[in-house]
Amino acid sequence: TQLLEQSPQFLSIQEGENLTVYCNSSSVFSSLQWYRQEPGEGPVLLVTVVTGGEVKKLKRLTFQFGDARKDSSLHITAAQPGDTGLYLCAGRGSGNTPLVFGKGTRLSVIA
């Protein structure tokens, strides 16, 4: 069974600070996705990474896929209150296997 461990589980920071959250596994994934979920809503897809070592930027968010495609990180620069939410990573194995989700990092950015 493929598992994704996300850390930290909870993170509370001041506006303007930088942060990194992690998504780790002992399994190799063919692709990995990051989602953000707000209370009472469904997850919203932020990015998909496919190639080992790949780095993608989305404004102040930087996503990296590990060289071995077993782990990923999300770095947020100059966090803002609007970044508050639950950040979920989800990996897809080989073939047509279902997405496996981590439990998420709950981020709170305080003004």
Partner 1 sequence: NAGVMQNPRHLVRRRGQEARLRCSPMKGHSHVYWYRQLPEEGLKFMVYLQKENIIDESGMPKERFSAEFPKEGPSILRIQQVVRGDSAAYFCASSPISVNNEQFFGPGTRLTVL
Q: Which residues does 1 contact at the CB level (< 8 Å), separation at least 6?
A: none
By CB under 8 A, how many residues form the interface with partner 1? 24
Q: Does 99 bind partner 1 (CB under 8 A)?
A: yes
Q: Which residues does 99 contact at the CB level (< 8 Å), separation at least 6?
A: 33, 90, 91, 92
Q: Does 50 bind partner 1 (CB under 8 A)?
A: yes
- Give the Å distances, CA to CA, from 90 to 17, 53, 80, 82, 99: 25, 17, 24, 22, 6
- CB of 60 vs partner 1, minimal distance in Å: 22
Q: Which range of residues in 41-49, 52-60, 61-69, 77-85 is near partner 1 by CB under 8 A?
A: 41-49
Per CB under 8 A, residues contacting partner 1 are 6, 31, 33, 35, 40-45, 48, 50, 88, 90, 92, 96-104
